Amino acid sequence: MSERGLEYTDFVDLDSDAGDDELVCRFRFDHVEDVEFEWAAGAIAAESSIGTWDPGLTTMNEDIREMGARVVDLDESDGEAWIAYPPELFEAGSLPQILSSIAGNVFGLSELEHLRLEDVDFPSEVVEGFHGPELGVEQVKEHVGAGDRAVVGTIVKPKVGLDAEEHARVAYESWRGGLDVVKDDENLASMEFNGFEERVTRTLERKREAEEETGDHKLYFPNVTAPVEEMRRRSDHVVDGGGDYVMVDVLTVGWSGVQDLREHLPPDVGIHGHRAMHAAFTRLPHHGISMLAVAKFSRLAGVDNLHAGAVVGKMEGGRSEVEEIYRFLRSSWHVETVIPVASGGLHPGLVPDVVDILGSDTVVQAGGGVHGHPDGTQAGARAFREAAEAAAVEQTLEERAEDSPELAAALKKWGRNR
């Protein structure tokens, strides 16, 4: 350690292991040529804890030095560093404060050409400071009677443009065809052509009709995304109308908004987390924040369902990455589990692939792959449900289609291609 204070390299301590009570981040980075790899790693640790560019701080003391983050492992060949943070650096139960620390100014360091937060290992004491989800995988599946099959759902399409009555009718046709879940899309809030309160009231009415006619419990995820006070008001309208779920765009609302929503809602009301905007920083392989890290933040904040990738379909996300996210969301972790959602460019012909890769403890949903059915929404919903039923008993879609004209028509239009 420098006599003047803490140089960046003083934050590198490869002879120590992370403590059980420490939060550990795995970073991947590229640095400019005129600094060493170890120095750059130390800069990340320093600037995300107690350090700064000038080691001669007159305000530093020995007690504060003990609170410095430490680089405890390095892999220069892969450009990775593992940094351990003492628990004293974090405010209990505050995702914004934690992220301001581990993913704050460090992304702007001029000596770093790229920086990606790949993973965060939270100690149990930190996890237990958060509310977390309320429902869990088993409760969601039991509510809709999914049994051994995947939960099946749809997004009302087009995303925007339908009025409240048209929206409710599409939802009814989807439920009547056999789907468990209908949700708003990420950019449908309270529009001039489709006001939130009218849409929710009408859609919940049609939900009850579908439940009476089918004998099955159904779920509706209305998008309450808005400034926090308005989110609370919209959520109250959903609950007062008999709704048991809300949807929120977790990244555009922000983590404090999601945490506030979870605390505001009754414990038996679920939160469907949409990840709109995530690819702006998760998609780049060398810079940003991984979707695995976003999934961990979402679970801490309290979502019960989370879009997590589908491997097949139209959305980016490699198989190993998506499988790791799914394993995490279903794992034991001091808070309740989250049921992952596979969505984006799916249709009945892809359902067996999704279930084979990601398992049946999943919500599999399609928009165009339901409403684009040549015989309409109800037929598309029936075809999607039939595909999930077939996957649950390991029956081929071609065999199932022999007794399902809706599925046969879907396969004729979309095929089986991944």
Active site residue 274: yes
Summarised one tens digit per residue, pLDDT across range 239-252 is: 999 999 999 999 99
Report pLDDT for 4: 44
What angle, rounded to 10 degrees, do the helices at 228-240 and 196-214 form?
30
Contact 78, 28 (CB under 8 A): yes
Mean pLDDT within 40-58: 90
Contact 361, 159 (CB under 8 A): no
Active site residue 286: no
For residues 116 and 288, give the distance between their C-alpha atoms in angstroms, rounded to a whole number.
5
Report domain extents, the chain: 9-127, 136-414
Phi, psi angles (nearest 5°) of residue 94: -120, 100
Confidence of residue 418 (pLDDT cuts 50, 70, 90): low
Summarised one tens digit per residue, pLDDT across range 118-157 is: 999 999 999 999 999 999 999 999 999 999 999 999 999 9
Fold of 9-127: Alpha-Beta Plaits (3.30.70)
Out of 3.30.1490.100, 3.20.20.370, 3.20.20.110, 3.40.50.720, the CATH code matching 136-414 is 3.20.20.110
Mean pLDDT within 96-113: 95
Q: Which residues contact 13 (CB under 8 A, 6 or more apart)?
A: 70, 71, 72
Contact 198, 164 (CB under 8 A): yes
Q: How far is CA 392 from the centre of its chain?
A: 25
Per DSSP, 87 falls in state G
The pLDDT of residue 3 is above 50: no
Catalytic residue among 157, 218, 278, 373: 157
Contact 168, 199 (CB under 8 A): yes
Phi, psi angles (nearest 5°) of residue 89: -80, -10
Summarised one tens digit per residue, pLDDT across range 373-417 is: 999 999 999 999 999 999 999 999 999 999 999 999 999 999 986
Contact 377, 408 (CB under 8 A): no
Catalytic residue among 167, 207, 272, 274: 274
Helix (H, G, I), strand (E, B) or coil at 224: coil
